[in-house]
Amino acid sequence: MPISTTDRRRLLLAASAVAVSALMPPPAAALTQAEARGLIAQVMTDVQRIINSGQSEAAMLRQFEALFSRYGDVPTIARSVLGPPARSASPAQLSSFTEAFRGYMARKYGRQFRRFAGATAQVTGARQIQSHWEVITTMTMRGEAPFDVRWHVSDRSGRNLFFNLIIEGVNLLAVERQEIGAMLERRRGNLDAMIQDLRAAG
């Protein structure tokens, strides 16, 4: 029986896919599970040091912002959260958005952290998702049921950094994409006006 054209095409496609993947270098020096877990353990130690330090809120928020820059891939997170408008934004707009977004995130979420003074946090697992790692941590507060925070970690930026956080199922990238979209809509798509709003928000 002659092989049909579609079958032949499929066969060719499959063969070329195999050839291409053979040519591609393996994900060299890929992020290991131990490195991903180590990074998140370090983040949590730093967060706890800040919340238990007894400093003023303003001082803590500044430290959270520095910590977010140090361990998080802020430019990638900001670009992803901005979505399609990031493609038409000028480099200057993109960098002022990134800076405003970093401060907004530190204020919005950093203020909630003081609740966790005295809480214990532990890395309880990790799993690979595509080429990234999900590090699972469990937070325990006295008198409350423990809850789970998942950190998505990647080395795609050239450094080992986290790029998303899932708190009891709530996906921060998804939440902030929606929020930044709503803020942009409120300004009828005017990115500069939205960046101004963002500096005052959170």
Partner 1 sequence: MPVNHRLALRLLVVLAALTGLAACHPRPPGATVHDPFESTNRAWFDTNLALERALLPATDRPAGPPAPSPARRTIRNVADNLSTPRYVVNDLLQARPAQALVNGWRFVINTTVGLGGLFDPAGALGLTGRPNDFGATLHVWGVNEGAYKVLPLFGPSTERDAAGMVVDAFLDPLNMVLSTNERAGAFVLRQSGRIADRIEYADILEATVLQSADPYVQARLVYLQNRRHFLGEAREEEFIDPYADFDD
Which residues are near partner 1 by CB under 8 A?
Answer: 73, 76-77, 79-80, 108-109, 111-112, 114-115, 129-130, 132, 143, 145-146, 152, 154, 156, 163-164, 168-171, 173-175, 178-179, 182-183, 185-186, 201-202
Q: Which is nearer to partner 1, 9 or 186 (CB)?
A: 186
> Roughly how many angstroms between the first and final C-alpha of the chain, as a whole number?
68
- Contact between 152 and 164 (Cβ < 8 Å): yes
Phi, psi of 158 (to 5 degrees): 105, -15
Tell the smallest beta-carbon distance from residue 29 to partner 1 (Å). Answer: 17
SS3 127: strand
Tell the smallest beta-carbon distance from residue 177 to partner 1 (Å). Answer: 8
Tell the smallest beta-carbon distance from residue 181 to partner 1 (Å). Answer: 9
Phi, psi of 148 (to 5 degrees): -110, 135
Radius of gyration of the chain (CA): 21
Q: Which is nearer to partner 1, 146 or 189 (CB)?
A: 146
Q: Which is nearer to partner 1, 66 or 172 (CB)?
A: 172
What's at 200, amino acid-wise?
Answer: A
Distance from C-alpha of 157 to C-alpha of 159, rounded to nearest angstrom? 5
Tell the smallest beta-carbon distance from residue 178 to partner 1 (Å). Answer: 6
